[in-house]
Amino acid sequence: MTSVHRVAPDAYTFNILINSSCRAEGVDAAMRWFGEMQHRSCAPTGVSFNTLMRGFFREGRFKEGTKVAREMLELGVGLSVASMEILIGGLCRGGEALMAAELFVEFLGDGVVPEGFDTLELVGALCHAGRMDKSVEVVDKVLDKNRVCCLSVPAGVTVLECLMNAGKLDEVCRLMGRMLDQGIVPDTISCNCIFESLCEAGRTADADRLRTGSGCLILRLIDATFFIYQGQGRYLKFGNRASNLCGHIAGAHHQKSICALQQVHNCW
């Protein structure tokens, strides 16, 4: 731009130029407009930084993209949900899920992760990359910080299913228990899959503990399937509809099964 302006550019003007240059010419061209913006003492906005960060990730320049995020924090602009989605999503889609996880854990510890950001894409990318341990660490850190807003039900279920498929049932029980304690309740189908895996491994008591441990008020599984221990490694499988219960109660002669059926009835 020339030194004389018929219409003085504002932040919105520069954001338009940064965005169009980033798409048409590349992020380096957009950076020149960003420099001009600062030279004109026009304070960059979150949109300015987000556009540049997205541009760097689009070109595979991950270190420079993460540097933009850090600069946002240093200048006091802060990270919005959109900023975090660009940052974490850009790294994950670029095959840098581990770097994304380390940044997320760092920012979570610093208290700069905005409320409303979901870790679904992050934990999914970690599981897909075979870094199940890191996905568990991410979930544990979120729960440690009591930032359950960052852990949606699909995100939690993604990690639980990854653990279940790997046969790590101890971790499934531990992590699901922590989730339930903080009010993150997996959907009915996921719960039933987990309960079934535990029961088939002879861990019916663990399945029932997860079902009832956080209170029956949390796990009101409509049209769900429950597994009732009958002794000697056998269990009874039935739906919780009244019509289904009536058909199975007559055949449930074992005392433990009768007690368990009563517990299910008390949950209604």
Mean pLDDT for the stretch of residues 85-107: 97
For the chain, counts of helices (H) and of strands (E): 14, 2
154 or 252, higher pLDDT: 154
Token pair for residue 253? 């002669």
Selected residue with higher pLDDT from 174 and 227: 174
pLDDT of residue 266 exceeding 60, the answer is: no
* Residues 6+ away with beta carbon under 8 Å from 181: 214
Integer Rg of the chain from CA: 25
Residue 4's pLDDT band (boundaries 50, 70, 90)?
low
Supply 86's token pair.
């660009």
Name the DSSP letter for residue 148.
Answer: G
Look at 10-14, 78-82, 116-120, 201-205 and tell me which has the smallest mean pLDDT.
10-14
Whether the pLDDT of residue 259 is over 50: the answer is: no
- Residue 66 in this model has a pLDDT that exceeds 60: yes
State the Cα–Cα distance between residues 48 and 64, nearest whole angstrom: 15
Q: Which domains does the chain have, with CATH numbers?
A: 1-78 (1.25.40.10)
Rounded Cα gap, residues 144 and 239, in angstroms: 35
Q: What is the C-alpha separation between 230 and 208, in angstroms, rounded?
A: 13
Cα→Cα distances 74→68, 155, 258, Å: 10, 30, 62
